[in-house]
Amino acid sequence: MCRNWHSCSQFCRPRRPEANPVTNADRVAPYSQRDIACAVKLCALLGWVGVIGVPIFSHAYRIGLDLNSLSLVFWYALFGLPISLFICWLLVKPFLRIMMRRKTSYVRAAYWGAGIGFSLVAVWVAFSRYRGWRKSQESKTKSSYGDGKDTIEVNGLLTDYGWWLLVQNSFQFILICTLAALIVRLIIGPGKYDLPIEAKQ
């Protein structure tokens, strides 16, 4: 028995067993691999609808919905959707895996959607402008193209009108990615943490 009971009471008293705290490592991810795969497919579909589907359908509607215009939409969907799915699986899925490690609110989904869109735009602009610069250095003959309203590019270099179209299209693409992320969040849900069986017992 301890002589100085007050000073040694913390050592003499039997310690109560401490409950094992549940750490982040003990938690199950809020989204399953199936949820991530579903999110990738939704992004591919929504991306195709926003970038290709709506402009093509609008053009077909302006010229009149007939068999030829509907077949045009069909062929763009037949070849465009697999390409969209491949691009999303290759470039978008890594971002989704990081985003879906945590529960996702609408604000978080919009933030990540805009970030993914901006990243893809930055890669495309860097690649296309580098290719245009190489073309301007190697081209011996003058070449240009436009959209019927004004000249977009001359010898691989964008005109002022071309830069304006690039900014406009980039902003629209980022907006499409943001809206797609919000729709995916609406369908997939916020995700939830669930304790494993060992932690529940």
Looking at the domain assignment, is residue 139 inside a domain? yes
100 burial (CB, 10 Å; 0-12 / 13-18 / 19+) is buried
* Lowest-confidence segment of 26-40, 108-122, 156-170 by average pLDDT: 26-40
Q: Which residue has the higher pLDDT, 24 or 168?
A: 168
Interval 63-91 mean pLDDT: 79
Interval 53-64 mean pLDDT: 67
The DSSP code for 18 is P
Residues 126 and 169 in one domain: yes
Looking at the domain assignment, is residue 195 inside a domain? no
Mean pLDDT of the chain: 78
Q: Which residue has the higher pLDDT, 78 or 129?
A: 129
Q: What is the pLDDT of residue 146?
A: 77
Whether residue 122 is predicted with pLDDT greater than 50 in this model: the reply is yes
Q: What is the pLDDT of residue 131?
A: 87
**What's the rounded Cα separation, in Å, for the pair 183 and 110?**
10
Interval 88-109 mean pLDDT: 91
Whether residue 151 is predicted with pLDDT greater than 50 in this model: the reply is yes
Which band of pLDDT confidence, cut at 50, 70 and 90, is reported for residue 15?
Answer: low
Whether residue 32 is predicted with pLDDT greater than 80 in this model: the reply is yes
Which contacts qualify for 96-101: CB closer than 8 Å, 24 or more apart? Answer: 96/36, 96/39, 96/40, 96/43, 97/36, 100/29, 100/30, 100/31, 100/35, 100/36, 100/39, 100/191, 101/29, 101/30, 101/31
Q: Which of 52, 72, 103 is the last residue of a domain?
A: 103
Looking at the domain assignment, is residue 82 inside a domain? yes
Q: Which of 45, 70, 103 is the last residue of a domain?
A: 103
Alpha-helical segments (H) within the chain:
5-12, 33-48, 54-63, 67-87, 93-99, 106-138, 160-188, 197-200
Residues 92 and 61 in one domain: yes
Q: How many domains does the chain have?
A: 2
Residue 87: which domain range? 29-103
Q: Which residue has the higher pLDDT, 97 or 5?
A: 97
Q: List phi, psi (to 5°) of 14.
A: -70, 135
| Residues whose CB falls within 8 Å of the CB of residue 181, separated by 6 or more in sequence, listed in order | 43, 109, 110, 112, 113, 114, 116
Which band of pLDDT confidence, cut at 50, 70 and 90, is reported for residue 198?
Answer: very low
Residues 89 and 130 in one domain: no
Q: Which of 57, 83, 103 is the last residue of a domain?
A: 103
Looking at the domain assignment, is residue 24 inside a domain? no
Which band of pLDDT confidence, cut at 50, 70 and 90, is reported for residue 144?
Answer: confident
Torsion of CA 20, 22, 24, 26, to 10 degrees: 80
Looking at the domain assignment, is residue 109 inside a domain? no
Asked whether the CA dihedral 72, 78, 80, 84 is positive or negative, the reply is positive
Interval 70-83 mean pLDDT: 79
Residues 33 and 99 in one domain: yes
Interval 47-66 mean pLDDT: 72
